[in-house]
């Protein structure tokens, strides 16, 4: 077995790849504004990530920084389909999902810098963004550990009698964790409106999918067969194809309360994290260049919008400039924000320690001295 994946060969030229899928029922009535909105959302994610890479290189971000560049179509397509009771939860590569559901660049960038103004008050860092008010249950650092939580969100939706779903995202490496399989079983056994989304970028750190997963020839999602669950393969290059497939899964969740596994084929251009010194060793330069040139979801969408005359180059430049400025402003905001206080270390550990007037315990001691 080869250690390297070969890029998937595409038959159609980039500009027309979305044209067919644009005619699908879920996409055909999209307004011009909506289509431009998707473009803006993808550009914002990319510019945010590029900006955060620079900030990291300036030594201002601690720990890991897992960039989502190359995968933006997935978070944007999925977020575009969320209603009142649709939820999202994902792994540590979570900035794209966070921005897609509407979190602000300021709070996200400030979190990367460990500032008190960060979305998690500087306590979560790059891997742990949360916005429960936006049905976004965060980024989680243990590979696969978030998937049972996603099933729990689906359980909560169903328990409370709501029509909704929970999208639980993971990488192609995560699918081999036991907790993921337990979660699959529970979702299928109990008819929970869970949607498992495998963002298959071909690699888990430096290990290619070929070297990590035994699976049916149809792919990773096809393991669903063993759980009597619906599944689909989706081309992540195409925002419209993702909306179509995820839309079907959401419909299944809403109308039948049944789970689905989706495998979305995508790619990441950067290393596993910015600290990944071997980023170029486990795959060829040609492979990365080919993806960037021919399969980049942002560029494919851009060419489609131009082709269809939804937007002009000029308008795109404006969006790009605005996103860059927003990211620059966020970097400035983050820079100028204060660090958390030392006292805040022991806040947010216990609910009742933070709500002393409503506490249920007697005796004080949560913290030792």
Residues that bind another protein (CB under 8 A): 87, 89, 118-124, 128, 130-132, 137-138, 140-142, 145-157, 159-160, 166, 178-179, 181-183, 185-186, 189, 347-352, 354-355, 360-366, 368
**Distance (Å, whole) CA 332 – CA 200:** 34
Q: How far is CA 298 from CA 22, 42, 70, 111, 354, in A?
A: 15, 7, 8, 26, 44
362 binds, among another protein, ligand TPP, none (CB under 5 to 8 A by kind): another protein
Q: Does 40 bind ligand TPP (CB under 6 A)?
A: no
Residues 93, 126 contacting (CB under 8 angstroms): no
Half-sphere exposure of 308 (CA within 13 A, CB side): 21
Q: Which of 26, 76, 143, 261 binds ligand TPP (CB under 6 A)?
A: 143
**Distance (Å, whole) CA 145 – CA 141:** 8
Strand pairing partners for 230?
A: 260
Instruction: Locate 274 and state its tokens.
Output: 């910015």
Residues 283, 272 contacting (CB under 8 angstroms): no
Residue 161 φ/ψ, nearest 5 degrees: 75, 25
Instruction: Locate 189 and state its tokens.
Output: 């056994």
The total number of residues written for the chain in this structure:
369
65 binds, among another protein, ligand TPP, none (CB under 5 to 8 A by kind): none
**Distance (Å, whole) CA 100 – CA 77:** 9
Q: Which stretch binds ligand TPP (CB under 6 A): 168-176, 216-224, 258-266, 356-364?
A: 168-176
Bin 63: left if φ > 0, else alpha if -120 < ψ < 50, else beta.
left
128 binds, among another protein, ligand TPP, none (CB under 5 to 8 A by kind): another protein
Instruction: Locate 354 and state its tokens.
Output: 């933070």
Q: Which of 16, 32, 34, 142 binds ligand TPP (CB under 6 A)?
A: 142
Q: Residue 343: exposed, middle, or buried by beta-carbon count in 10 A (0-12, 13-18, 19+)? A: exposed
138 binds, among ligand TPP, another protein, none (CB under 5 to 8 A by kind): another protein
Q: Which of 51, 93, 158, 223 binds ligand TPP (CB under 6 A)?
A: 93
Residue 80 beta carbon to another protein: minimum distance, rounded to whole angstroms: 22
Site string for ligand TPP, 263-302 (x = CB under 6 A): ---------x------------------------------
Q: Does 257 bind ligand TPP (CB under 6 A)?
A: no
Q: Does 204 bind ligand TPP (CB under 6 A)?
A: yes
Q: Which stretch binds ligand TPP (CB under 6 A): 23-31, 96-104, 140-148, 246-254?
A: 140-148
Q: Which is nearer to another protein, 38 or 130 (CB)?
A: 130
93 binds, among another protein, ligand TPP, none (CB under 5 to 8 A by kind): ligand TPP
Contacting positions for ligand TPP (CB under 6 A)? 93, 141-143, 170-174, 201, 203-205, 272
């Amino acid at each position: 077995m080869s250690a390297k994946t070969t890029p998937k060969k595409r038959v159609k030229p980039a500009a027309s790849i979305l044209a067919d899928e644009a005619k699908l029922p879920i996409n055909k009535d999209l307004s011009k504004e909506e289509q431009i909105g998707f473009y803006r959302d993808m550009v914002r994610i990319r510019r945010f990530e590029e900006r955060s890479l620079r900030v990291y290189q300036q030594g201002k971000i601690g720990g890991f920084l897992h960039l989502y560049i190359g995968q933006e179509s997935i978070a944007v397509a999925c977020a575009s389909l969320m209603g009142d009771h649709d939820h999202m939860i994902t792994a540590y590569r979570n900035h794209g999902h966070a921005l897609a559901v509407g979190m602000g660049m300021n709070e996200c960038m400030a979190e990367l810098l460990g500032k008190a103004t960060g979305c998690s008050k500087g306590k979560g860092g790059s891997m742990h963004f949360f916005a429960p008010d936006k049905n976004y249950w965060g980024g989680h650092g243990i590979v696969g550990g978030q998937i049972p939580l996603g099933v729990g969100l689906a359980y909560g939706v169903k328990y409370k009698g709501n029509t909704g779903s929970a999208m639980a995202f993971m990488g192609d490496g995560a699918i081999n964790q036991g907790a993921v399989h337990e979660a699959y079983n529970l979702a299928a056994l109990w008819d929970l409106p869970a949607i498992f989304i495998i963002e298959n970028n071909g690699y888990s750190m430096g290990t290619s999918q070929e070297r990590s997963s035994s699976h049916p020839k149809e792919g990773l999602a096809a393991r669903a067969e063993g759980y009597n669950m619906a599944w689909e393969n989706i081309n992540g290059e195409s925002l419209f194809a993702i909306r179509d497939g995820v839309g079907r899964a959401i419909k299944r969740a809403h109308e039948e309360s049944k789970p689905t596994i989706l495998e979305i084929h995508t790619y990441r251009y950067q290393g596993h994290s910015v600290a990944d010194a071997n980023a170029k060793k486990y795959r060829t330069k040609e492979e990365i260049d080919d993806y960037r040139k021919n399969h980049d979801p942002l560029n494919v969408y851009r060419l489609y919008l131009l082709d269809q005359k939804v937007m002009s180059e000029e308008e795109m430049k404006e969006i790009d400039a605005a996103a860059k400025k927003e990211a620059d402003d966020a970097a400035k905001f983050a820079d100028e924000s204060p660090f958390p206080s030392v006292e805040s270390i022991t806040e947010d550990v216990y609910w009742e320690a933070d709500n002393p007037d409503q506490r249920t315990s007697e005796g004080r001691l949560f913290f030792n001295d």
